[in-house]
Amino acid sequence: MNKDKVIKNDGVGKVRSQVFTFDSLKLENAEKLGPVSLAYETYGSLNKDKSNAILIAHALSGDAHAAGVHEGEDNPGWWDEFIGPGRAFDTDRYFVICSNVLGGCKGSTGPASLNPKTSKPFALEFPLITINDIVAAQKRLIDHLGIEKLLSVVGGSMGGQQVLAWLVKYPQSLCSAVPIATTIKHSPQQIAFNEVGRQAIMADAHWKSGNYYEGLPPSKGLAVARMIGHITYMSDKSMAEKFGRAKKGIGEPFKFTADFEVEGYLRYRGDNFVKRFDANSYLYITKAMDNFDASGGKRFEEVLRGTKAKVLVISFKSDWLYPAYQSKEIVKACKLAGVETTYCEIDSTYGHDAFLLEVAEESHLIRHFLKKVFYAYEVTGEYGA
């Protein structure tokens, strides 16, 4: 999608990233990290009452650039088709915020950032972080923007984990939540896929125990990790429809080249990923995902009791990385806790990637859900409890 097409489709147009820096953050492991910077973008305008703010939480490989285009570039944000006038997140009505996660590599403090104690990149001296730490940093940003209560927190995959963390940590600070294609905690299979990716990075000779910033990065290992990820993001049917067993027709005798179209695709995605992502960030963020447990070791319904926020849970039938049963566990816990919850399982063939690609159906669900949540405020000037 090019820049002109984005603008013709009434998107948010040109945008710029901003950075919020604060002195320190106490992590769950009791360590203090500081100063901390978060890169973020906003779309739309905050209303007088500051009651129309929506936080978008990104997935593993995402960043703060969720919509629009940057000056001099033509690549729209990762959820561009969902954000803008008349879209799911209607910027004529809502003020939308997206920040790069703590531990990331696109403007927020992470392993590649300079350690103030050494004036060198943190590398593995960066402390282990959790999804709750990521959300605590987001809360500091929301406070900085003067927003007492978010209309909604929305995110898919790892973004959905952040949504659940918001529900548990700051239930009084949001009116609604939309966790998409996510889970209360990772299954052994989900942890296993992440561990294989981490091992691929650490097996790269250029990784050097994380101290590669003055030399060559572990590009091959990170590319393999990304290739593994892409296999899990798609479904068997979507791969068959996209590639089949088609070969590239290069006319070479058999050898270990990318003969099949799917092989070439995976290599292409892996090679492109290393140009924009830091290997150490990949290690830290996937570990945070694996360690996440929204229930805190209890029954999830117990930690949700008393929550007044309305919840919309979305899953996809062909998603085998975050299968629908995990979303249903969220729904069951919400209902047992007395939380007003709506569930929708979309019949998509895209697999886990569906949360990025099923624009029409997701937009319909989210648009109407947000209107319902915001309706009481529009009519009475009050919303949420």
For 191-286, which CATH class? mainly alpha
Query: Pick the catalytic residue: 152, 235, 352, 353?
Result: 352
Q: Is 368 a catalytic residue?
A: no
Do the two domains 3-186+292-380 and 191-286 of this chain adopt the same fold?
A: no
Task: Work out whether strand 310-316 and strand 176-180 pair parallel, antiparallel, or are unpaired.
Answer: parallel
Please pick, among 99, 108, 152, 157, the residue that the annotation labels catalytic.
157
Name residue 248's amino acid: K
How many Cα atoms are found within 13 Å in the side-chain-facing hemisphere of 81?
13
Residue 148 has pLDDT above 70, yes or no: yes
pLDDT attached to residue 375: 81
β 95-99/53-57 pair status: parallel
In the CATH scheme, what is the homologous superfamily, with its name and number, of domain 3-186+292-380? Alpha/Beta hydrolase fold, catalytic domain (3.40.50.1820)
pLDDT at 185 over 80: yes
- C-alpha torsion sign, points 266, 272, 278, 279: positive
User: pLDDT tens digit string along 351-385?
Assistant: 999 999 999 999 999 999 999 999 866 665 555 44
Residue 157 annotated as catalytic: yes
**pLDDT-derived band at 241, boundaries 50, 70, 90:** very high
What are the domain boundaries of the chain?
Answer: 3-186+292-380, 191-286
Catalytic residue (one of 63, 204, 293, 319)? 319
Per-residue burial over 256-289, b = 16 or more CB atoms within 10 Å of its CB, e = otherwise: eeebebbbbbbbeebeebbeebbbbbbbbbbbbb
∠ CA(43), CA(48), CA(50), 5° rounding? 60
- Give mean pLDDT, residues 29-33: 97
Q: How many percent of the chain have pLDDT more than 90?
A: 88
Q: Is 61 part of the annotated catalytic residue set?
A: no
